[in-house]
Amino acid sequence: MKFLITGMAGFIGHAVAKRLSGEGHEILGIDNLNDYYEVSLKQARLKDLADCNDVRFVKLDLADQEGMARLFAEHRFDRVIHLAAQAGVRYSLENPHVYATSNLMGFMNVLEGCRRHDVKHLVYASSSSIYGMNDRMPFATSDSVDHPVSLYAATKKANELMAHTYSHLYDLPTTGLRFFTVYGPWGRPDMAMFKFTRAIIEGTPIQVYNHGDMSRDFTYIDDIVEGVVRIQAVTPASNPQWKPSQGSPDSSSAPYALYNIGHGSPVGLMDFIRAVETAIGKKAVCDYQPMQPGDVPRTWADTEALFAATGYRPKVKVEEGAQRFVGWYREYYGV
């Protein structure tokens, strides 16, 4: 099988490429190596993949329409795992245009490449943030998600709509994965586990939003990767019997699927901080802050559909995941 992995220098892309390597596939990864966070970490992830003979990397921007068209024409991918995007909720308040460029134009180019070159399955990253104002827990893909509270979330919701259109018009099988707060080794410096670990080790304060009254369905990277790898092998089929009047938002007559991919149990922010403190062996200095615009107070994934499709349930609890992350952090930075 020939795979395209977009965002391969990113946190999840690197981990998925590493996991797929050695399984008899040919993997090509792209990334624009932007400086949203430290580029050296993206380069180090690519270096970590350098020994995998079946993985190749091309530096390319998703928004480069011609470059993307050429890539698809040249390589004739069987499957595409689309993970490149401008991520981050808070950053989308200050830099909205980059979300339109990467997440909308970029996704458009991925869809066009897939439909013109007969890709058998497109799996793409959506986000738990699209649940926005929803307060019914756990979040389920059968719930409507029409009230996003950040532009980032709105672009992810747009991706799901665009994917549905291409599934319907061109019979392109698409699967959207709503990721829930992924953490672990090689993680993202803009996310809580990374920021807290860095600050606690350096002895600087950590910002605790909504005065600590938040919870997240934290999901360990290996559990995410297992879900992604298993679901890419489950190609959605069309269902001519499907009727819009009876269907829920996650179903269709088109070959279109949507899943939550999360641990399936929320962890309170203060418990999360305690897990990081224990892993480091040092107390945090907490700087309590109000709720941040664009943020949601709670997330909790209903993961039954993904379990039914893949037979896999996430295994790693946050205490164990924090130990593994801190171990990686200390080794990577030599601290």
Ligand X SMILES: NC(=O)c1ccc[n+]([C@@H]2O[C@H](COP(=O)([O-])OP(=O)(O)OC[C@H]3O[C@@H](n4cnc5c(N)ncnc54)[C@H](O)[C@@H]3O)[C@@H](O)[C@H]2O)c1
Residues that bind ligand X (CB under 6 A): 7, 9-13, 31-34, 42, 61-63, 83-87, 102, 106, 125, 127-128, 179, 181-182, 188
40/245 with CB nearer ligand X: 40
Minimum CB separation of residue 243 from ligand X in Å reads 31
Minimum CB separation of residue 57 from ligand X in Å reads 11
Minimum CB separation of residue 265 from ligand X in Å reads 16
Number of CB atoms found within 10 A of residue 32's CB: 18
Is 209 a known active-site residue? no
85/145 with CB nearer ligand X: 85
Minimum CB separation of residue 67 from ligand X in Å reads 10
Beta bridge partners of 58: 30
Minimum CB separation of residue 256 from ligand X in Å reads 18
Three-state SS for the chain is CEEEEECCCCHHHHHHHHHHCCCCCEEEEEECCCCCCCHHHHHHHHHHHCCCCCEEEEECCCCCHHHHHHHHHHHCCCEEEECCCCCCCCHHHHCHHHHHHHHHHHHHHHHHHHHHCCCCEEEEEEEHHHHCCCCCCCECCCCCCCCCCCHHHHHHHHHHHHHHHHHHHHCCCEEEEEECCEECCCCCCCCHHHHHHHHHHHCCCEEEHHHHCCEECCEEHHHHHHHHHHHCCCCCCCCCCCCCCCCCCCCCCCCEEEEEECCCCCEEHHHHHHHHHHHHCCCCCEEECCCCCCCCCECCECCHHHHHHHCCCCCCCHHHHHHHHHHHHHHHHCC
11/259 with CB nearer ligand X: 11
Minimum CB separation of residue 299 from ligand X in Å reads 10
Residue nearest to ligand X (CB): 10
121/156 with CB nearer ligand X: 156
Q: Which of 91, 152, 259, 329 is catalytic?
A: 152
88/173 with CB nearer ligand X: 88
Q: Beta 286-288 vs 206-208: how paired, if at all?
A: parallel
- Say if residues 179 and 127 touch (Cβ distance below 8 Å): yes
33/238 with CB nearer ligand X: 33
Residues catalogued as catalytic: 152
